[in-house]
Amino acid sequence: MTTTDAKGTAQLKLDELVAAITAPGGGSTPDFLEECDSLKRAIAAFHLEAIRFRMFNVDRMLARTQAPPTARHIFEEVRAALEAAGFHTRSH
């Protein structure tokens, strides 16, 4: 998978995550949706520091909401696609 393909996959998966959390009972909040939008812009810009920061925030917000289990799975697919593109999504 090329960097461009992986980046596109991450963006598509992020769209799936937004769809999952905006569905009835999905646990979305305006702040959560805004953070997902900021992450999408960071991915589009290839802004490494912003990607890491936004991934951390979305992960934390996902843990604090009543999101369906599929949302966590989709988020991990976003992470895997970003890491395949060469982005380090964790600060450790």
Q: What would the pLDDT profile of 31-90 be if each residue is shown by its tens digit?
A: 999 999 999 999 999 899 999 999 999 999 999 988 899 999 999 999 999 998 888 777
User: At CA 57, angle to CA 69 and CA 88, rounded to 5?
Assistant: 95
The pLDDT of residue 16 is 97
pTM for this predicted structure: 0.89
CA 71/CA 4 separation, integer angstroms: 24
CA 39/CA 56 separation, integer angstroms: 10
